[in-house]
Structure 1
Amino acid sequence: MKLNFSDAKILVVGDVMLDQYWSGSAQRISPEAPVPVVKINNDETRLGGAANVALNLKALGAHVALASVIGKDDAGSQIQTLLQQHGIQTYFSFSSQPTIRKLRILSRHQQLIRMDFEETLALSSAQSFAEAVIKMLGQFDLVIFSDYAKGCLADVQRMIQACNLAGVTSFIDPKGDCYQKYAGATLIKPNQAEFCQIAGAFSDDEQLSAKARNLMDSLNISHLLITRSEEGMALFSPQQEPYFLATQAQDVYDVTGAGDTVIATIGAAYANGYSLKDALHFANIAAGIVVAKVGTATASLVELSDKLQQTQRHQGYVAPSKEELRQLIQQAQQQGQKIVFTNGCFDILHSGHVRYLDEAAKQGDKLVIAVNTDESVQILKGPTRPIIPLQSRMELLASLSCVDWVIPFSEETPRDLICYLQPDVLVKGGDYQPHEIAGCDCVWERGGEVKILSFWDGFSTTKIVERIQASLQETP
Structure 2
Amino acid sequence: MLDQYFWGEVSRISPEAPVPVFDLRDISHSLGGAANVAANLAGLGVRAELCGLVGEDREGEVFLELARRAGLGTRAVVRDGGRPTTVKTRVIAQAQHLLRIDTERRASPTPEIRETLKARLEELLPQVKAVILSDYAKGVLASSGFTSWLIEEARRQGLPVFVDPKGLEWQKYAGATCVTPNRKEFRAILPTMGILEEDLEGGARRLVEKLDLSFMVVTLGPEGMFLYHPEEGSWHFPARAREVYDVSGAGDTAIAALTAFYTAGLPLKEAVSLANLCAGIVVGKMGTRPVFWEELKKALQKGG
TM-score (norm 2): 0.92
Shift in Å at residue 18 of structure 1?
0.8
What is the distance in 1 between the residues matched to 2:241 and 2:264? 28
Contact 2:151 2:161 in 1 (8 A): yes
Of residues 293, 298, 304, the one that matches 2:285 is 293
5+ residue gaps, structure 1, are: 1-16, 313-476
Of residues 24, 34, 39, the one that matches 2:8 is 24
Shift in Å at residue 121 of structure 1?
3.9
Question: Aligned ranges for residues 238-253 of structure 1 at < 5 Å?
Answer: 238-253=230-245
What is the distance in 2 between the residues matched to 1:213 and 1:106? 41
Shift in Å at residue 287 of structure 1?
1.1
Equivalent residue number for residue 173 of structure 1? 164
CA displacement 1:73-120 (0-9 Å, x = unmatched): 111111111111122111211212111011111101111000000001
What is the distance in 2 between the residues matched to 1:127 and 1:224? 30
CA displacement 1:372-392 (0-9 Å, x = unmatched): xxxxxxxxxxxxxxxxxxxxx
What is the distance in 2 between the residues matched to 1:175 and 1:207? 20
Q: Does 1:162 align with 2:148?
A: no
What is the distance in 2 between the residues matched to 1:194 and 1:126? 27
Equivalent residue number for residue 134 of structure 1? 122
Q: Does 1:258 align with 2:272?
A: no
Contact 2:254 2:275 in 1 (8 A): yes
Of residues 229, 232, 244, the one that matches 2:221 is 229
Shift in Å at residue 281 of structure 1?
1.2
Question: Aligned ranges for residues 190-205 of structure 1 at < 5 Å?
Answer: 190-200=181-191
Paired residue secondary structure (1:68): strand
Paired residue secondary structure (1:20): strand
Of residues 34, 42, 47, the one that matches 1:58 is 42
Contact 2:43 2:292 in 1 (8 A): yes
What is the distance in 2 between the residues matched to 1:133 and 1:278? 30
User: Which letter does structure 2 place at the counterpart of 1:248?
Assistant: R
Shift in Å at residue 128 of structure 1?
4.0
Q: Superposition RMSD on alpha carbons, in Å?
A: 1.6
CA displacement 1:104-161 (0-9 Å, x = unmatched): 1110111100000000143423454234313421111101111100011232111000
Equivalent residue number for residue 120 of structure 1? 106
What is the distance in 2 between the residues matched to 1:162 and 1:131? 12
Paired residue secondary structure (1:122): coil
Q: Structure 1 residues 79, 214: closer, same or farther in 2, change over 3 A?
A: same
User: Which letter does structure 1 place at the counterpart of 2:271?
Assistant: A
Question: Aligned ranges for residues 62-461 of structure 1 at < 5 Å?
Answer: 62-90=46-74, 91-96=76-81, 97-123=83-109, 124=111, 125-154=113-142, 155-200=146-191, 207-311=199-303
Contact 1:26 1:107 in 2 (8 A): yes
Share of identical aligned residues, percent?
41
Which has the higher Rg, Structure 1 or Structure 2?
A: 1
What is the distance in 2 between the residues matched to 1:275 and 1:130? 32
Aligned length: 293
What is the distance in 1 between the residues matched to 2:16 and 2:118? 48
Shift in Å at residue 36 of structure 1?
0.8
Contact 2:107 2:138 in 1 (8 A): yes
CA displacement 1:159-214 (0-9 Å, x = unmatched): 0000111111111111111100000001110001001010149xxx9832111111
CA displacement 1:220-278 (0-9 Å, x = unmatched): 11111001112211111121111111112422111111111101111111111112211
Equivalent residue number for residue 24 of structure 2? 40
CA displacement 1:40-85 (0-9 Å, x = unmatched): 0111011100111111111111121111111111111111111111
What is the distance in 2 between the residues matched to 1:51 and 1:294? 18
User: Which letter does structure 2 place at the counterpart of 1:162?
Assistant: E
Contact 1:138 1:168 in 2 (8 A): no
Contact 1:282 1:308 in 2 (8 A): no
Contact 1:226 1:234 in 2 (8 A): yes
Contact 1:130 1:158 in 2 (8 A): no
Paired residue secondary structure (1:144): strand
Q: Structure 1 residues 200, 94: closer, same or farther in 2, change over 3 A?
A: same
What is the distance in 1 between the residues matched to 2:147 and 2:166? 12
Equivalent residue number for residue 49 of structure 1? 33
Contact 1:23 1:38 in 2 (8 A): no
What is the distance in 2 between the residues matched to 1:286 and 1:164? 27
Contact 1:105 1:112 in 2 (8 A): yes
